[in-house]
Amino acid sequence: METVRTRIAPSPTGGLHIGHVRTILYDYALAKKSKGQFIVRIEDTDQKRYVEGAVDSLLDVIEAYGLSWDEGPRIEGPYSPYIQSQRLDIYKKYALELVSNGYAYYCFMDVEETEELQERSKIEKRKLRSPYREYTVGKITELLATGRDYVIRLKVPDNEIIEFEDEIIGKVSYNSSEVDDQILLKSDGFPTYHLAVVVDDYLMNMTYILRGNDWIPSTPKHILLYRYLGWGDKLPKYAHLPNLKEKDSGKKLSKRHGAVFAIQFLEAGYLPDAMLNFLMLLGWSSPEERVFGQKEREIYSLKEFVNLFSLDRVQKTALISFDRGKLVWFNKEYIKMKSPEELSQVFLNWLEKYAADKSVMDLCKNDATLFKKLQLVKERSTTLVEMANQVKFFYNAPESVDWNIEQVAAFKVKLGLIKDDIYNIIVSLGEDPSKWVQQEWVDKMRAISQKYSIKGGDSFMVLRLCIVGSPFSPSLFEAMQLMSKSDILNRITKSI
């Protein structure tokens, strides 16, 4: 049985797109299901767009989502190096081999000439063919001797049908006359994506290539390269995945609608396992049948997904909706599923790595009751950012309180007296709030409402504003039980 080998090859020209994480997830599942290998390779041949530090950032994000690789940077394997800029001699060797066998050619057009030819090709509705394609060996030798800059282009045959069987879409057919004479080696000695990806996929024994369906037009070029390099019998299986689009839109994910990069979702407080579960179902459907007409399950662990995954369950559609509202649902479900101890650790890790506001991090680290506080706020939270915002009041008294909310404004003239009475109630309770009796506190607070002829819940709202600074909070009594009595009294005093 053939060993399945898959790969992802991100480019360090910016952040890792969340669509790439979905591709990585499918690559990972396909390899792991058959006990194969998943490889990470860095495609850094576009030196003009290279971002310093991007390689480490890309790898860190992949690791953060729990998708480990078997070979690649940080885990060297038998096909090292896995960074393309360290493999330039390899690509040049094969580019020159293609030239010597008549499957590629030197092209000496400068930038202006290239742009002019591209424009003319568009107008004439034909694919780019450089005039140097027909130059004799002798003439090319003369030009090389002058030291002029050149690129090496693929010599695409005319009017030849190129077919391949896509593992998702099915049979795909192209006429070679629709394919450009692609640049393979640039004037700076770096390969283009098309040469490097084919050479590396072959040398590293890749068996499946998973990528977005916008890469389908590149596949005929890659098939030609496999054939021209004598590797036609080792052609990998191609599977082009549906791209992600904004819900209720025909367009790809856009920054205008929210995060698009994988790290942004981590920074926004989405749990990696929730994010993976959401991505699993963007284009793939589970083989598990519906039970008694009920909706099929939606919660899957990574291990379960690996066991169930197959390419024949991937949708053939061009675009699949990225429903941000559904992602919020997944995240809330995963927050609810965490045990108090697990959630506390996840929250602390997130604070350290991704939180923009580090002000409460040290306080949370040293708080033995953090897990209890998180349990109080998690029901009202959909992300870790929301949890952080809601848990802050335990550590930081409100700097100011807006007493103009409608509920309080109706009895604002009595506010000072009401707060004094609430203060006295807290004084009358025991020194340890964790031992307070809720009913005793409730009865005394309601007595204040009766005394001043206000609604039953109004006195509670006054105390909530004193302690939290907001009309919204988790259970007020349970929150106070996790605070000190002196802190509660100080906050009431400060508000008075």
Contact by Cβ (8 Å): 69, 7: no
Contact by Cβ (8 Å): 322, 250: no
Contact by Cβ (8 Å): 89, 112: no
Query: Which residue's structure tokens are 């009594």?
Result: 477
- Rounded CA-CA distance 377/386 in Å is 9
- Rounded CA-CA distance 403/400 in Å is 9
Measured over the CA atoms of residue 80, residue 82, residue 85 and residue 89, the dihedral's sign is positive
- Rounded CA-CA distance 325/307 in Å is 27
**255 part of the active site:** yes
Measured over the CA atoms of residue 18, residue 19, residue 25 and residue 27, the dihedral's sign is negative
Each as own residue / partner, the long-range contacts of residues 66-69 (CB below 8 Å, 24 or more positions apart, any chain) are: 66/272, 66/273, 66/276, 66/302, 67/21, 67/24, 67/25, 67/28, 67/38, 67/276, 69/38, 69/39, 69/40
408-420 residues labelled b (16+ CB within 10 A) or e (exposed):
beebeebbeebbe
- Rounded CA-CA distance 216/241 in Å is 10
Contact by Cβ (8 Å): 195, 184: yes
218-254 residues labelled b (16+ CB within 10 A) or e (exposed):
ebbbbbbbbebbebeeebbbbbbbbbbbbeeeeebbe
- Rounded CA-CA distance 119/115 in Å is 6
| Count of beta carbons in the 10 Å neighbourhood of residue 118 | 12
- Rounded CA-CA distance 318/243 in Å is 6
- Rounded CA-CA distance 221/178 in Å is 11
Active-site option among 255, 295, 358, 435: 255
What is the set of active-site residues? 255
